[in-house]
Chains A and B, each alone.
Chain A
Amino acid sequence: MRKIKKRLASALRNFTFLLMSDVKLLIGTTVFVVLVVLGFIFPHFSPYNPKRWNQVPRDIPPCWKYPLGTTSLGQDLFWLLTFALQNSLILGITVATISTFVGVLLGLLAGYKGGYLDRALTFLSDIFIAIPSFPILVMLAALFLGRIHILMLAAVLCLFNWPWPAKQVRSMILSLRERTFIETASFSGFGTIEIILKEVIPLISPWIFANFINTVLVAIGAEAGLATIGVSSLEEATLGTMIYWALRYQAMFRGHWWWISVPVVTIVILFIALFLIYMSFSEMFSIGGYKK
């Protein structure tokens, strides 16, 4: 117990040090944490279900009582936003977790085993990278007539997001395998799995994390894109469906700028924050141990 506490403390100290040494990471993480708090803690305090219509007076610009204004459907934009953030983040994190895990695993496998498995996996991942995923997603979602379940959407997004990490991890493994310290480890009697866990993973973990963050961004963006065109699960509150309903009710041209700008500004802030985190982790990766 004590040991764990000590470890946690040292990890925390390391992380704080990291944050302080990199402005990009600091800004990105701070904004992201604020949005996560907004998305995962605030919804529990919502005074009413913000998805329901006519809960509050319609079309009120931002004021003290309704900090972000209300929609023409009588929804409170602030509470709606917290719900939307939650759903979008859950979607993004689910997709990123699964596809990064699968991708890294397959990449490790392909890089280490080589042979037919490697060739097949490389070929498959190249194809999935080349196929434009968006029209296919639109087609699939359209066939469900705007009622596709958000988890179904997540599953399809995973299908298109595993090849990139797989391809990258594979090429990293191929170049790492030639390095002396891996050979040393292998000669000192480490097994393959041990080498991967103790030598390879720590080295490429910044990249894996960067890729994870990037996939969160891509998945949230893809869902919002689908929603904008009107084929996501429109009854759920996500950042995309908020844009959809605002566009549907011509919020911008009726002068209800707050309705459309709330999701738009949130997406911009969220994505820039995620991208900053992504950038600083991939820089860390290229500066640290691994470099071709």
Chain B
Amino acid sequence: MKASVRYIISRIVSYIITVWIGLTICFILPRFVPIDPITVILSRVTAMGAYMDPETYQKMRETLLHIFGLEGSFQEQYFSFLSKAITGDFGISITVFPSKVNDLIARALPWTILLLATTTLISWIFGNIIGLLAGYYRDRKISKALQFFAISVYPIPYYVMALIFVFIFCYLFRIFPLLGSKGIGFEVSLSFEFISSVIYHSFLPALTLFVINLGWWILSMRALTINISEEDYVKFAEIKGLDKRIILNKYIFRNALLPQITQLTMALSTIFSGAILTEFIFSYPGLGQLLWMAVSSSDIYLLMGITSLSVIAVSTAALVIDLIYPLLDPRIRYEAKQI
């Protein structure tokens, strides 16, 4: 079998198993905790002062059990959960009662993807270029300043950075708004006003994600560049008198880029977690805010839905990047040794 085919197949198999284990965790966790969602809803109904005779109560309970897919044995519930989750059906929200969890998620997800994809991509590209230059000219003052910047920015957690930005830009200088991704009263459209409003409102969350990620990509690219530029073939190219630009581009950059891509797939879950909290701090209407809503009203199905979806989304993104990888790395195409 061709090496690349084997690589793709093994990668897809591990993807499926990752998603399966993630979903299983999502299914099992709530069952270990002594909170019964049905009782929560019923107590909410009776708390309003409504009187129910035991028969109605029992009937209502059964209906709810049916709606939430809690009938049958443990295995039956498990398989129905899995089969529904794969088709993107995560049941019904408790807080926003009759609406479906996937409708709520569908409304929030595009915002998260927009924010995450743009910031991750931009910071990855910028970080690689800056890191390359900082690593190659590592004795210059500006390179040391960049290193200092990266070291002091990267370890800060996303939500703390978000709070710092809120403090600076919303409290001290009042340049940016604190709330939401679009101004109130705007309908989603392709007009200039709408787009500029979206950019204006999501600037700070984007900046938060961008700055921290940038710090990391600079640090790791710088280290890689320093390592590679000490290799013999780079030294040889330098002695040979090759143009510096060619050395940087073809000898160092391309070799350092591959581990950076692998890093990206592994960093995705961390970036995603950070983005969720950042969204929460800025009340950005993405998954983060939805998660907070689910948490504050202990909406188990919404929580399960968001968590399952996060698992699926992050592993799918990693899969996509990994499938692009053989196109970039010729070694995987020809060598059977990899993975």
Residue numbers of A with Cβ under 8 A of B are 24, 123, 126-127, 129-136, 138-140, 142-145, 217, 221, 224-225, 228-231, 243, 252-253, 257, 260-261, 264, 267-268, 271-272, 274-276, 279, 286
Contacts and interface: CB of A to CB of B under 8 A. Distances in A.
A136 B163 contact: no
A121 to B, nearest CB: 14
A219 to B, nearest CB: 12
30 contacts: A24-B151, A123-B14, A126-B14, A127-B17, A129-B269, A131-B25, A132-B269, A132-B270, A132-B311, A139-B307, A142-B295, A142-B298, A143-B30, A143-B33, A143-B35, A143-B298, A145-B35, A145-B298, A225-B158, A252-B167, A252-B171, A261-B167, A264-B160, A264-B164, A267-B157, A267-B160, A268-B156, A275-B151, A275-B154, A275-B155
Nearest to B153: A272
Contacts of B109: none
Contact of B151 (A126, A224, A260, A276): A276
Interface stretch (B234-242, B244-252, B271-279, B329-337): B271-279
B26 interface: yes
B310 A135 contact: yes
Contacts of A144: 33
B155 A272 contact: yes
Interface residues of B, number: 52
Given A135-B306, A139-B307, A257-B167, 20 more contacts: A126-B14, A130-B269, A132-B268, A133-B269, A136-B26, A140-B29, A142-B295, A145-B298, A228-B159, A229-B280, A229-B292, A243-B160, A243-B163, A252-B163, A252-B167, A264-B160, A268-B160, A271-B155, A271-B156, A276-B151
B94 interface: no
Given A130-B269, A138-B303, A143-B33, A279 B276 contact: no
Contacts of B157: 221, 224-225, 267, 271
B281 A279 contact: no
A218 to B, nearest CB: 9
A231 B295 contact: yes
A286 B227 CA distance: 10
Q: Which 5 pairs, one residue from A and one from B, show the smallest C-beta to C-beta distance? A: A134-B273, A275-B155, A132-B269, A143-B33, A271-B155
Interface string B93-130: 00000000000000000000000000000000000000
B168 to A, nearest CB: 11
Contacts of B151: 24, 272, 275-276, 279
Contacts of B213: none
B273 A229 contact: no
A228 B311 contact: no
Interface string B256-296: 00000000001011101100110011000000000110111
A15 B48 CA distance: 67
A238 B272 CA distance: 24
Interface in B182-235: 227
Contacts of A123: 14, 17
A265 to B, nearest CB: 9
Interface in B24-55: 25-26, 29-30, 33, 35
B152 interface: yes
Contacts of B291: 135, 138, 229
B314 interface: yes
B314 A132 contact: yes
Give the most central of A129, A132, A143, A260: most B CB within 10 Å. Answer: A132
Nearest to A134: B273
A132 B166 contact: no
B82 interface: no
A228 B280 CA distance: 9
B70 interface: no
A289 to B, nearest CB: 16
B14 A127 contact: yes
Interface string B292-331: 1011101010011011001100110010000000000000
Contact of B277 (A225, A268, A271): A225
